[in-house]
Amino acid sequence: METAVRELDHPNLSSRDFGRLSRFIYDTCGIKMPDVKKTMLEARLAKRLRNLGIRSFSDYCDYLFSTAGQENELVQMLDMVTTNKTDFFREPDHFDYLTQKVLPEWVQRHPGHKLSVWSAGCSSGEEPYTLAMVLSEFALNSPGFDFQILATDISTRVLEKAKNAIYAEPLVDPVPLSLKKKYLLKSKDRSNPVVRIVPELREKVRFRRLNFMDHDFGMREQLDVIFCRNVIIYFDRPTQEKLLQRFHRQMKPGALIFMGHSETLSGLDVPLTSVFPTVYRKHG
């Protein structure tokens, strides 16, 4: 009995089952899972096995690949294996470039239009709320300027956190003081020092779940600006190229896509032109 309990608490992920899971994760959401990630995958999914009362990874695979598993477990499993790391004002030169160069030119070319922005791979919301702050500040000195932000992620767990818009105070350290005063509400309970994004900013961001492997993203709208930073590094080069071609189709002529500083389009067949470090423009 003791042995059985230990096995349930610490199931072993065999090479065969790791292969089954890694292929499935790649086919489902495009994330590559090399052998070096076997221990990480085992540790993260062990919690799901305990919650479900499943004794082995082999049984878990059988359940996951079943009709019931596809319906009830797929999203839970993807939540456990996706990495969600982000910060407010991460890679701040992108926001400087947006404010000083992109927005003034866009307003001149599109008077009376609403800027449409997509935060693709938004995690727990720090990026889209940073964008909402930056765009709101620009709007103060640009009468008639308006914007909307779509924020998507594959993980329902982080999307729920993003919608709640509540963050521990240390997480908002990168936000300039003037913006903290304007856009963050402090909790009255100082034993639990958290802040919440103000309602008028939350209303500018629309969150929804999206899998990058969906053929057309389930989107009809075309975008003026896409932020997809530190996301494609989790995909292999063929998947990166397919994904960027899909992004290209969602971009209006002249639209921009902002990538992470560790990412490059070099060697990929995508008709985008570099205009600033890791910022690319669609022709037209």
- The residues that are catalytic are 44, 153
Distance of CA 275 to the CA centre of its chain: 23
Find the helix or strand (DSSP H, E) in which 42 lies.
helix 38-52
Largest CA distance in the chain: 73
Indicate the DSSP class of residue 195.
E
Scanning the structure block, which residue is given the tokens 């489902």?
28
Contact assessment for residue 136 and residue 204, using Cβ atoms and an 8 Å cutoff = yes
- The span from the CA of 207 to the CA of 156, in Å, is 10
* DSSP, res 82: S
- Quick one: which of 230, 272, 275, 231 has its CA closest to 250? 272
Q: Which amino acid is at 56?
A: S
For residue 71, report the phi and psi dihedrals to the nearest 5 degrees.
Answer: -80, -40
Give, for 160, the enclosing helix (H) or strand (E). helix 156-164
DSSP assignment of 241-255: HHHHHHHHHHEEEEE
